[in-house]
A and B are shown apart, each in its own frame.
Chain A
Amino acid sequence: MHNNHIVEAKELCKYFKTPHGQLHAVDGLSFQIAEHTVLGVVGESGCGKSTLGRMLAGLHEVTSGSLYFEGQDVTNPSRKAKKSLYRRRQMIFQDPSSSLDPRQCVSDLIAEPMNVMKLYKGRRERDARVEELMDIVGLAKRYAFSYPHELDGGRRQRIGIARALACDPKFIVCDEPVSALDVSIQAQILNLLQDLQYEKGLTYMFITHDLSVVKHISDEILVMYLGCEMEHATSIELFEKPLHPYTKGLLSAIPIPSIHTNREEFIMSGEVASPINPNSGCRFASRCIFADEPCYSESPEVIEVLPRHFCACHFAREVNGM
């Protein structure tokens, strides 16, 4: 079981120094991602999901805790270890207009990782690989010499995907890859990502604020709030039996495009608190309708309430009538 975990995080923390104090972007997250699966990470803006993704991709250093990649400790990798990691993990960014260099044409953009890593000796081999990648992500060859600003958002995101695939990684962090796109284009990109996952046996960490998207694409889902884990379960389980009050509120806040739903309305009051120097106790306590004395003083532990369904709430059982 343990062997096929491609990523394992233990008490992972990332703090930033700010003029007002320490910003707890990610605060003690532990989870595993099994090979060939998709872990969805959801949360509102400022919950630390992007920081988590960048840590896993190796763009942020880890403040404390440990991170394992295919069983190897990569918390603070050596220069040599980093080199092999570049080929094995990659990232797809949210905003294709800022993640693609505007002065490079499509083929240069896709060839860049191969040039940096010196994957191909000959120019011809490399160009053949660029063509192959463009074909894989559904970019017509005639765009090879176009510049990103000449293309629409969907095509730009395809370039980003092709670039991430250039070195055949095993694990890809997708940081809100479809948030900037219109629905009809979003569906095209989601289908592409799914197809690639099946065909290449990829593992994704899919970060998004859109619960409908995460439900569609993920096997397991991690719900974050202010840098902490709230709930972690399989996708089906989480949407059928949300245990944490935050997850429940999040789910009921999503407008359903149908006129026949009779969901109980449960609108969360208040707003996300500041992640700078947070109080001890449950991060969600100030907005929680079930909050009681222990919630303000003690940070709840993540417990396995149901088999493979984790929840960090003092009253997980009580709230759900268990």
Chain B
Amino acid sequence: MSDLLEIKDLVIRFDTEDGSVHAVNGIDLHIGSGETLGLVGETGAGKTTTALGILRLVPDSGKICAGSISYKNVDILKMSDKNILDIRGNEISMIFQDPMTALNPVMTISAQVMEVIERHQACTRGEARARMIEILGKVGIRPERVDEYPHQFSGGMKQRVVIAIALACNPKLLLADEPTTALDVTIQAQVMRMINDLKKEFGTSMILITHDLGIVAKSCDSVAIMYAGEIVEFGSLEDIFDRTSHPYTKGLFASMPRLDVETERLMPIAGLMPDPMELPLGCKFHPRCPHRMEICTTDNPQGTEVNYGHLVKCHLHTTKNGDMD
């Protein structure tokens, strides 16, 4: 199966008065059509910046320095500004974390959904309205409520509207940036189920950005674990959950209090995320890693395929492989 989106060696940097913030440092990702990729990491790992990079929406102070993002074998980074406008919201769309700020408070819900449809599809106003009613119906908003304003909706309902706007033009790829973080658990469950159902119905691919491994286990096909702007582990659900290989991923699992497992004491990862302005030499994780070796402080490990399709960026695994050879 050919990949719908393939990111190669993407580097994004923000230049500030005090120095450069290395937000994304050479990541490789690929996602096939209909697949869901979970992009997992803590605050400041570069997840959102990666997603914004795919849409070429990185804020002004940021710069995409290197790499390629090929969507249907065309490099998004080399497209003209006009072509990228046709792709945004149409072929690739995004769901933002906070539904409170993603909607315009002075426009009705219907107008906001129709705006997207009319921009990207050749249709009359009547057709656009019919499409709007249809898509809002799919996310569970009754036709009699479509002409209301965002403040008349609850947080969960607003997020449904945001999803409707994202899906209005049948995108091929959906970038969902923490779509349920601002919601309560019971509403989160409703919204996640709805996203998964609609994704199946439309055959959309999705990159799901989250910090919650529980959501990943339920919704994703493959998982990428990000740390300090790099993907430290990439693989299928089974690879990540059952054959966890990178010390950071292991640390993440050990720091979570769990409902399904009894833990007397959590095992947190020592230390803090490194400053993206002054990243450590060698492996970015080495100052916090319990298995740190000499080589980790000097050389940044390359991705090693420990299993088919299961990539790990860690010297523990490169040396092991070397030994076996």
Interface residues of A (CB under 8 A from B): 44-45, 152, 154, 182-188, 190-191, 194, 209, 211-213, 215-217, 239, 249-259, 261, 267-269, 271-272
Name which of A209, A251, A253 has the most chain B CB atoms within 10 A of its CB: A253
Task: List 7 other contacts, CB 8 Å, given A182-B273, A255-B217, A258-B241.
Answer: A184-B269, A190-B257, A216-B263, A255-B218, A256-B258, A257-B216, A257-B256
* B238–A255 CB distance below 8 A: no
Residues B259 and A211 in contact, CB atoms below 8 Å apart: yes
The complex places the Cα of A152 from the Cα of B271 at a distance, in Å, of: 11
Q: A187-B267, A268-B186 are in contact. Are A257 and B272 (CB under 8 A)?
A: no
Tell whether A271 pairs with B156 under 8 Å between CB atoms, given A182-B42, A190-B266, A253-B185.
yes
In angstroms, Cα B251 to Cα A190, docked, is 15
Q: Chain B residues near A186: list those with CB within 8 A.
A: 255, 268
Contact, CB under 8 Å: A256 / B259: yes
Evaluate contact between B268 and A254: CB separation under 8 angstroms. no
- B209-266 interface with A by 8 A CB criterion: 211-218, 237-238, 241-242, 251-260, 263, 265-266
Q: Are A183 and B255 in contact (CB under 8 A)?
A: yes
Would you call A257 and B217 a contact (CB within 8 A)?
A: yes
Q: Which of B184, B237, B259, B272 contacts A185 (CB 8 A)?
A: B272
The minimal Cβ–Cβ distance linking B286 to chain A, given in whole angstroms, is 15
Q: Are A257 and B268 in contact (CB under 8 A)?
A: no
Chain A residues lying within 8 Å of B265, measured Cβ to Cβ, are 191, 194
Q: Give Cα A215–Cα B157 distance, bound, in whole angstroms.
A: 29
B185–A267 touching, CB < 8 Å: no
Question: Does chain A have a CB within 8 A of B104?
Answer: no
Assembled-state Cα–Cα distance A183/B187 (Å):
21
**A182:B43 contact, CB within 8 angstroms:** yes
Nearest A residue (CB) for B140 = A269
B257 touches A212 (CB 8 A): yes
> Closest 8 interchain pairs by CB?
A255-B214, A187-B268, A187-B255, A216-B257, A257-B213, A253-B189, A187-B266, A44-B184
- Given the known interface contacts A44-B186, A269-B190, the answer about A254 and B269 at a Cβ–Cβ threshold of 8 Å is no
Q: List, in ascending order, chain A residues with CB within 8 A of B20's CB.
A: none
Alpha-carbon distance A194/B213, docked complex (angstroms): 24
Q: Which residues of A contact B187 (CB under 8 A)?
A: 44, 271
Is the pair A259, B242 in contact by a Cβ cutoff of 8 Å? yes
Of the candidates A209, A259, A267, which one forms a contact with B193 in the assembled complex, judged by CB atoms under 8 Å apart? A267
Does B188 touch A at the CB level, under 8 Å? yes
Interface centre among A194, A249, A254 (most CB of B within 10 A): A254
Bound state CA distance, A261 and B258, in angstroms?
13
Is the C-beta of B319 less than 8 angstroms from some C-beta in chain A?
Answer: no
Q: Given A184-B252, A257-B258, A267-B190, answer yes or no on A209-B268 (Cβ-Cβ < 8 Å).
A: no
Q: Give Cα distance in the complex from A44 to B155, angstroms.
A: 13
Q: Is the CB of B215 within 8 A of A185?
A: no
Inter-chain contacts of A211 with B (CB < 8 A): 185, 259
Q: Is B154 in contact with chain A by the CB < 8 A criterion?
A: yes
Name the distance in Å between B300's Cβ and chain A's nearest Cβ. 21
Asked whether A259 lies within 8 Å of B259 as measured between CB atoms, the reply is no
A249 contacts which chain B residues (CB < 8 A)? 186
Q: Can you list 15 residue pairs at the A/B interface with Cβ under 8 Å?
A: A44-B185, A44-B186, A184-B255, A185-B268, A185-B272, A187-B256, A188-B268, A212-B257, A212-B258, A253-B185, A254-B185, A257-B216, A258-B260, A267-B186, A267-B193
Interface string of B54-66 (1 = CB under 8 A from A): 0000000000000
Among B169-216, those with CB < 8 Å from A are 184-190, 192-193, 211-216
Closest CB in chain A relative to B264 CB, distance in Å: 9
Expressed in whole angstroms, the Cα–Cα distance for A217 and B211 within the complex equals: 21
Question: Which one of A188, A252, A257, A267 has the greatest number of beta carbons of chain B within 10 Å?
Answer: A257
The residue of chain B having its C-beta at the shortest distance from the C-beta of A246 within the complex is B186
A182: contacting residue among B211, B217, B218, CB under 8 A: B211
Q: Whose C-beta in chain B lies nearest to the C-beta of A253?
A: B189
- Choose among A255, A268, A271 the residue that contacts B212 (Cβ–Cβ < 8 A): A255
Chain B residues, CB < 8 A from A217 = 257
Give every chain A residue within 8 A of B238 (Cβ-Cβ): 259
B185 near A209 with CB under 8 A, answer yes
* Residues of the A chain whose Cβ atoms lie less than 8 Å from the Cβ of B241: 257-259
CB-contact partner of B256 in A44, A183, A185, A269, under 8 A: A183
